[in-house]
Amino acid sequence: MIQLLNIEWMKVKAYRTFWILIILFFVAVPLLNMAIESFVSQTKQVSLLLGSPFAFPRVWDTVAWATSIVTPIMGVMLIIFLTNENNFRTVRQNIIDGWSRDQYITAKFGVLITTTLFITLLIVVTAFIFGLKNGTGEATENIVYIFYAFVQSLAYLSLAFFLGVYMKRAGIAIALYVMYAYIGEFVVAGLLDYKVVRHLGAFLPLESTDRLIPGLSNFARKLVDQGNPPPSNSTYVLIALAYIALFNFLSWRKIKKSDL
């Protein structure tokens, strides 16, 4: 696996778009959290309502929630990476160079997991720094949100991976991904919740993880959910894992069966 990932690294390390997106995400995560922290602390009404969301133990939830806002940046990077593989026939060249199809698949899924771990690690470091800065509370309490953040990141990236495998045009795949991640699923979830059955929207792939990590929206969500208890966190995790398995199985089958 390490050797396969090294080869994948050789493909992207000189690719300018890759570095632009990585740096953009790396900078956006702490800056976004700083902006939210500043807004909360400087607005008395909000501060009284939300308390100290960037102090332990709530900081894990808050930073994971804020980071999810910009996680699609990494999904876009993954789509570009995969569509370039198809457009430049890299997969065919890898097979000619001696890779088996299974090695190619393993390498691509290795990139998916590595990217997810990178996002999760950045969340952990950012949350720990903000938590130390704001003090109070037990640092290990609510640490389960690190696992939730991993599941959420993997869900977002698995959808991007699926689109990158099935679509040849990066522009169309990126447009569909961004629109769905930021607008489409939110609208559909709202319609399902308020026009069909309450909490039915939680059974959508990204919405399940968004509700797993409510962040600063938790207060408003509790008010809306009064008298209508939401699914448990375990249910949200199972829904998310089911979609992750589905997206990755379909991607695996597409690569496995495709004509190289």
Cβ neighbourhood burial of 53 (10 Å; 0-12, 13-18, 19+): buried
CB atoms within 10 A of CB 77: 26
Q: Per residue of the chain (260 residues), what is the pLDDT tens digit?
A: 778 788 788 878 888 999 999 999 999 999 999 999 988 888 767 666 777 888 899 999 999 999 999 999 999 999 999 998 777 666 666 665 667 778 888 889 999 999 999 999 999 999 999 999 987 778 888 899 999 999 999 999 999 999 999 998 899 999 999 999 999 999 999 899 888 888 899 999 999 999 999 888 766 666 666 667 888 999 999 999 999 999 999 999 998 887 65
- CA separation for the pair 233, 212 (Å, rounded): 6
Q: Are 70 and 28 in contact (CB under 8 A)?
A: yes
Can you list the pairs that 230-238 forms with residues at least 24 positions away whose Cβ atoms lie under 8 Å?
A: 230/199, 230/202, 231/199, 231/202, 233/148, 235/202, 236/202, 236/208, 236/209, 236/211, 236/212, 237/148, 237/151, 237/212
pTM, entire model:
0.93
- CA separation for the pair 185, 207 (Å, rounded): 7
* pLDDT in the model for residue 15: 84
Please tell me what DSSP assigns to residue 149: H
Domain count across the chain:
1
Cβ neighbourhood burial of 202 (10 Å; 0-12, 13-18, 19+): buried
Domain range for 9 is: 2-257
